[in-house]
Amino acid sequence: MNEEELNRLIDKYYNGESTEEEERTLREYFSEDNTPEGFDTEKAIFSYYAGSGKIPEPSHDFESRILAGVDESVRTKNSQTIRKHLLPLLSAAAGIIILIGSYFVFIHRTESQDTFTDPKIAYAETMKILMDVSAKLNRGVQSLEPVSKIDEMRTRSFKDINKSTRIIEKNLKNLKYLQKAVEITKVPLEKNINK
């Protein structure tokens, strides 16, 4: 196939005017190894088509499935529209019900009444409850006594550590004084030896 005929077929293909026979001819031509320079893009396109095989025909119920999908999409859109308008109305109604319910609860609230009519019995019951609470608190404080001993031991340990630290610091100071004294006495001896 000459280059002029090849250009004519490619132009027809790109314009959508080529027949199946002409497209098959182009596929066969570009599947060969000897293609002219400048047609690399077309070679890649037609090689792809040759390798991909034939496009399968759609199934017999393809159109009905598409129509069913469109119908389902319309239904879901309608239900979303209803939800979009219904949800704020339901929220407002719930808020109004809560306000009405709280009005009745706070307005018609009953006053608390005494459980004992005799003040002496009420005082005795109060004392009994307070004694029980006091006993339980004392039991809790007794169980914390080992913790206070631990704190006391910690304080003593720190005091002992501080004492030993002070002793070490004092001895280090004495060593520094001794070192200075040696340095002072060393200088004159070296001068006498060098002379």
Q: What is the pLDDT of residue 110?
A: 64
Q: What is the pLDDT of residue 138?
A: 86
The chain-wide mean pLDDT, for the chain, equals: 81
Q: Which two tokens stand for residue 98?
A: 């809560």
91 against 44, higher pLDDT? 91
For the chain, the domains span: 3-52, 57-108, 118-195
Q: What is the pLDDT of residue 54?
A: 64
Q: What percentage of the chain's residues is helix, strand, coil (to nearest 5)? A: 80, 0, 20
Closest by Cα among 104, 122, 105 to 113: 122
Contacts for 10 with CB less than 8 Å, ≥ 6 apart = 26, 39, 42
Contacts for 43 with CB less than 8 Å, ≥ 6 apart = 30, 35
| Whole-structure pTM value | 0.28
How many residues are there in the chain?
195
34 against 195, higher pLDDT? 34
Query: Is the pLDDT confidence value at 24 over 60?
Result: yes
Task: Enter the DSSP assignment of 55.
Answer: P
Q: What is the pLDDT of residue 111?
A: 63
Kindly report, residue by residue over 122-174, the tens digit of the pLDDT. 888 889 999 999 888 888 878 877 777 887 888 888 888 888 888 888 888 88
